[in-house]
Amino acid sequence: MVLCYFFLIKQYVISLMSEKYMLQRDDFFVKSRREAMLYLNRHHGTGGFPLLRLNDKGFTLIELIIVIILLGLISATAIPYYLNIQKEAKIAVVKGELAAIRGGLELAHAKILASSINTGPDGTNPDWPTLEELQFNELRLSTRPAALKGLRIVRSDFYSTEQNKALPLCNLPDQTAGMSASPSGVSAKAMADVLINPRRADESTGWAYYPGNERDTNGRGVDAIFYVNDDRPLTDNVDSADRRPSEW
């Protein structure tokens, strides 16, 4: 492409030089094509010679080449910028869904504690929704108090009664095969997976969840943690703060 541009420019310069230096009459040096036409109109516009019209409406070859080069430069900068905007938009949507699900879990946790019925990591009414309950997006454990059964954890326009299809989608720019196959799915994680930085993930589903059912070395329960099931460092899913999805 560069060689083509160079050849066209070379040919145009040669043509200009031919017109500039080869048109000469009676010691009058014609310096440009426009001057040549004015000269012919002035000296031969009478006596049967038709007047020549000057046409300034078209574009020169140089102008067309400049426009093509500018369009190429604009495309080279605008397309990556547009793709980056798309990536950031998808990440923002997933962060919004993540915040909504976490808010639903916190609300369910508060309602469970308010019931004061056999709560705690070892109780039949666990403080936090279980993995299965989150996968169905409702409190459905048979030992839950009647007032809590059927309570939806996350309220959204997305609805399904099937397991691992009931939560909002995790749709990141760079999805693995597992994440694409189960974008609403939730994988089980242990306390050891969530107490490290970054949190451990396996990219087998869209979401990951530790249900807060373990105790630390001091015998205290560790709160549930919900996050994106992706801890890969070098993907388009890394946000503008250079954080992996599992760190959000």
pLDDT value at position 68? Answer: 87
In the prediction, which pLDDT does 33 show?
A: 55
Cα gap 238→88, rounded to integer Å: 10
The residues with which 226 forms a beta bridge, in sequence order, are 209
Contact (Cβ atoms closer than 8 angstroms) between residue 244 and residue 231 = yes
Task: Indicate the domain borders of the chain.
Answer: 2-58, 86-247
Could you list the pLDDT tens digit for every one of the 248 residues in the chain?
544 444 555 555 455 444 444 444 444 444 555 665 565 556 555 554 454 454 556 678 888 888 888 888 877 777 776 668 889 999 999 999 999 999 999 999 999 999 989 888 788 999 999 999 999 999 999 999 999 999 999 987 777 889 999 999 999 999 999 999 999 999 999 999 999 999 999 999 999 999 999 998 888 889 999 999 999 999 999 998 999 999 99
Determine contact, residues 196/236, Cβ cutoff 8 Å: no
pLDDT at 243: 96
pLDDT value, residue 42: 62
Paired tokens of 148: 């809590």
Predicted local confidence at residue 200, as pLDDT: 97
Query: Does the global pTM surpass 0.75?
Result: no
H or E stretch covering 227: strand 225-228
DSSP 118: S
Cα distances (Å, whole numbers) of residue 245 to 55, 173, 184, 208, 236: 62, 11, 15, 11, 10
Helices assigned H by DSSP within 116-126: none
Q: Is the peptide bond preceding residue 198 cis, with omega within 30 degrees of 0?
A: yes
